[in-house]
Amino acid sequence: MRDYAFSEGTAVVTGAASGIGEALALDLAGRGSHLVLIDRDAERLDDVAGRIRARHGALKVATHVVDLSDEKATAVLAETLVAEHPETTLLVNNAGVALGGRLDQVSLEDFDWVMAINFSAVVRLTYAMLPVLKAHPGAHVVNVSSVFGIFAPAGQVAYAASKFAVRGFSESLRHELAEDGVGLTVVHPGGIKTRIAETARTGSGVSAEEYEKGRKQFSRMLRIPPEKAAAQIVAAIEKRRPRLLIGASAKVPDVLVRLMPGRYWRLVGRVAGPPRRSRTAD
């Protein structure tokens, strides 16, 4: 398959108001791609779109404010993308949220919230856009998983489940799309400095003390600038790489899981410390 051509293509990017999505939108615009930007944060999304329009006046930049946890709103968005953007050549499923807590500390409603955004929306949007992408041989799909789609730490059961689901979905779909001349890259970022720690939910069964400790630990992991991550993703798209690990925080766990399948937590758990059990905060 030839290299992906950015110039004059149209890229749909979810989670485009901040973090990796924002950085990707700016990078893709610099390469001449028209943009369809999606996020639930209207103010931030308008700011990103405005900056791109100011720098790249010849590009078309459309925005859609949608909460991807809303199944009906996501379904409407899918129909809108197909109807209004049949020229799409790149779909980037980047939007994601986090939920901290063991399974007995989170509600099923919160679990479903994570799965809706991190996985179900990826499936729904990709499913809807398949005819559009197949109509443009040389098109490409990017699904952003996580390092937690490679290994699954205690206390991240919902998030890990959603990101492993994205990984499996992507691996199988890549094989299906190959015969149509459409590429697919699944991305496993390590600690990217985004707003995910700010927007993460915590299970109602997590104490205030445990929450604060987890938040600090999670924040310390987020060291890679989103611009650096976006540059690597764009390079992977261009060269049709099937899989991209970003940062040592993704590459080291990948090796560890390969060397110690089913047993890696014995080592990781000793380093991270055992998951603490605590009472629900008052």
Domains in the chain with CATH codes: 10-272 (3.40.50.720)
Residues contacting 261, CB < 8 A, separation 6+: none
> What's the predicted TM-score (pTM) here?
0.89
Residue 218 in this model has a pLDDT that exceeds 60 = no
- Residue 262: left if φ>0, alpha if ψ -120 to 50, beta else—which one? left
Length of the chain: 282
- Bridge partners, residue 188, by sequence: 245
Q: Which residues are annotated as catalytic? A: 159
Q: Contact, 85 vs 10, CB < 8 A?
A: yes
pLDDT for res 42: 98
Q: Which residue has the higher pLDDT, 193 or 42?
A: 42
pLDDT for res 75: 97
Where residue 222 falls among pLDDT bands split at 50, 70, 90?
A: low
Residue 251 in this model has a pLDDT that exceeds 80 = yes
Residue 170 in this model has a pLDDT that exceeds 90 = yes
For the chain, the average pLDDT equals: 89
Rounded mean pLDDT, 227-243: 97
Residues 152, 211: Cα–Cα separation, whole Å: 19
- Bridge partners, residue 143, by sequence: 93, 186
Q: Which amino acid is at 97?
A: V
Instruction: Give the HSE-up count for residue 15: Cα atoms under 13 Å, Cβ half-sphere.
Output: 26
Using CA atoms, how far residue 52 sits from 35, 36, 38, in Å, is: 9, 12, 14
Tell the residue number behind the tokens 């390079």, with chain if given.
Answer: 235
Tell the residue number behind the tokens 């063991």, with chain if given.
Answer: 102
The one-character DSSP state at 104 is: G
Rounded mean pLDDT, 261-279: 62
pLDDT for res 282: 26
